[in-house]
Structure 1
Amino acid sequence: MIVEKIQEYIEKKRKISPVHVNRASEIGHPCYRYLYFLRTAWDQAQLPTYKQQLVFDEGKLQERAVLRLLEDAGFDIVEQQRPYEIRELKLVGHIDAKIRVNNKLFPLEIKSMSPYFFESLHVVKDFLNHRYAHIRKIPFQLQAYLMLANYKEAVLLLKNRSSGELKEIVVVQDEKMQNEIRVKCQTINDLVEKQVAPEIHEEFDEKICSTCKFAHICLPDVKRKNEMRIVDDEELIALLEKREQLKPFHDEYLEVDKILSKRLEGIEKAIIGDFIVTGKWVHRKAYKVPETTYWKKRILRVVKK
């Protein structure tokens, strides 16, 4: 009754937008083929799923809520969603806002996220070393904003969607990262002008490719380039399908367990809710791992269901 009507409304909001330039929010993406298709095949991108649209909309709601909170707290918030452009790089971006702190303006970027991500991110290095690409590209987005607005520092404000807790990280200009952005922009611009897609990497990244909105365009090229052996084994197919179903739970378990390990460090004995938690320091002796050979597999669903 109520939920169904909301679902219909959300479904109508799912859309794709034209992309003719390099976006600051995407320039940190590690795949050049993705960035190329974003410019040349944007109209063929897969629509966001219903859940992805909900996450996107929630992010916008959280952003507006944080901006209101900052203003209520007495901060001067200006130039919300002001567009910027570096024409020679065909690089554009819309900064959330600028915030005045101690009579100094800073570009401000607001990111709301799950408690799992929030608890694991404290400094820029945590983002760059993160296992998920959408987290790793955030520092590049901030560096692109510094380039676009010609600033030396920016503020990244994180919000825990569960608790409402806020965390601020000051992002300082990094010449190495900004040079990487320049090279990436110039490379993509040249490829787009020549209408030549970047080379296919022999080793794809399962975490990136499995969620890519251009997988239906890119992966057929992968199949054509590589001679694929066709294996008709019902048991193998069933196991792969089961793996696909269980994978999200496994990834979430690893994230939660990593956060718990850090939060519970130093607690020897405790009762937390319905759980008894114990712990102790363990000394691990150093040892040399002998050389070995092993088979490294990668699995990626070609046809999304």
Structure 2
Amino acid sequence: MLPQGLSERQRFIRFAELFEHFSNTGELDPASDVPFRAAMNSIHIGTTMLGRCDGSFVTVRREKRQVIETGDDRFCLVRNTGDRASYVGHRGREISLRPGSMVLLKLDEPFFAADGTNHKRFTNVHLPVATLRAMVADVDELVGQELAPGGALSLAMDYSDLLLRHPAAVDEAGMAIAAHLLDLAALGLGARADVASAARRRGLRAVRLQAVLAILQARFHEPDFSAHKLAAAAGLSERYVNELLFEAGASFTTRLNELRLRKAADLLARSEGRISDIVFACGFNDLSYFNRSFRRRFGLTPTAARGR
């Protein structure tokens, strides 16, 4: 996807900028003994993000600059999908992350990962901090430790890899996927007994959540659509609806903006209509707010997104 005619160095710089923007993670150091090659994709679902990267680089670093600029305090669960151990430094610890093993990082603190080879592969899942702390007692004590493969944690990463290969499933299943990933991660990290029990059965709340999400999907384009109107349409209290959405990984406002931005991006790619008409058709009533949100979400201006 990079422009033609770039030098090797220019190609790396362009990719590194995209990696930092879309992964919200950090910087890369390229391998010096092989041509630069890399592939990356990511999916955002509310406050949860899935990503994977495969390329000829030797180090991934998150410096204080990224910590300050992004203001991101989420947990980041990373799996080494390469064929060689990677050395990870975080919170004053340095661990050997074997192939298939995982580590829980905190994005408001610096870290680095290096393995001495010229090719790295990893998958990562960014998880909302408040929700995970509510589900797993003492989860912060697990940060910076090697987490052995197997069980629910590996299943969460397998699920993430599957979704990254088939992103259309996210459009169909929406925020329910974020809730499922949170459940798997929490179970693998040692969720509290009551949370683990709820994660295994879900039951009525899961059914009600699906009904709420279906209504949101059908009416997000209404300019005055609100959490109150969503609750009324679902026959539930507004507080209960907000609890359901929060437990599933993202607030009402986050979900509403995500649906509107995705729809706008789709229309910009397929339609020749005026941008302002598209913006208002998706439920936004402030063009400057839309422009800022769109660029922050997709890394492009609405004009640049035309036909892409």
Question: So what's the TM-score if we normalise by structure 2?
Answer: 0.24
Higher relative contact order (CA 8 A, sep 6+): 1
The structure with more radius of gyration: 1
